Amino acid sequence: MIGAGEMLSLYYPIGVTGDVSSHVSDGTYACPTERYLCEEFANFYADKLESMGLGNWETTWDCDNFAWMYYTDIQWAHYATKKSTAEGISVGVCYYMAGARAEDGSGGGHAINTAVVKENGEYKILFIEPQFAAVKKPCVLTLTPEEIASIWLINF
C-alpha cells in the first residue's frame, strides 16, 4: 500500500514537471503488479470491450474513452476482489503530447493509463496503452523524456 503523496512524488524524478495538474481521490492505494495489469486484468478488459462492441478506435470511441474505461474497470476489480484494505488502486488516467498516438501513429494530445506497481519491494511507474490492451497486445509504453515532460494531467 502507498499513500497518495508518496505515490505522486514518484513522478517528479522521472521528469514530470510541477506544471502537471493532478487529482488524487483516495488517501491510500494498493499497488498491483505489472503482470496483473498487463496480462490478467488486460485480458478481462479486452474481453469486456469485445463483448460490448468497443474494441476498436473510432472518432466517437477514442483514446480517452479507452483510458477511462480501463481506469473504471480496474477500480471495480480492486473493489470486487477485496485483496487490499487500501481505498483505491494505483492506476490512473494520464494526458500528454504523444510523439505517435496508438490510433493512427500521428502526434498530438493523447490519453493513456499510468500506474504505480510494486515489484520485488520497489515501486515502479508504468505507462499503459489501453488501446493495445483492448486487442491483447503488449501494452506497456516507454515514453520519451519529451513526452513525460508534456504530461498535463494525471488523475487517480
**How does pLDDT run along the chain (156 residues), one tens digit per residue?**
999 999 999 999 999 986 889 989 999 999 999 999 999 999 999 999 999 887 777 777 799 999 999 999 999 998 888 778 899 999 999 999 998 887 788 889 999 999 999 999 999 999 999 999 999 999 999 999 999 999 999 999
Domain segments of the chain as ranges: 2-155
- Kindly report the pTM of this predicted structure: 0.92
Pick the CATH number of 2-155 from 3.30.460.70, 3.40.50.300, 3.40.190.80, 3.40.50.620: 3.30.460.70
Contacts of 111 (CB under 8 A, 6+ apart): 63, 64, 66, 67, 68, 93, 94, 95
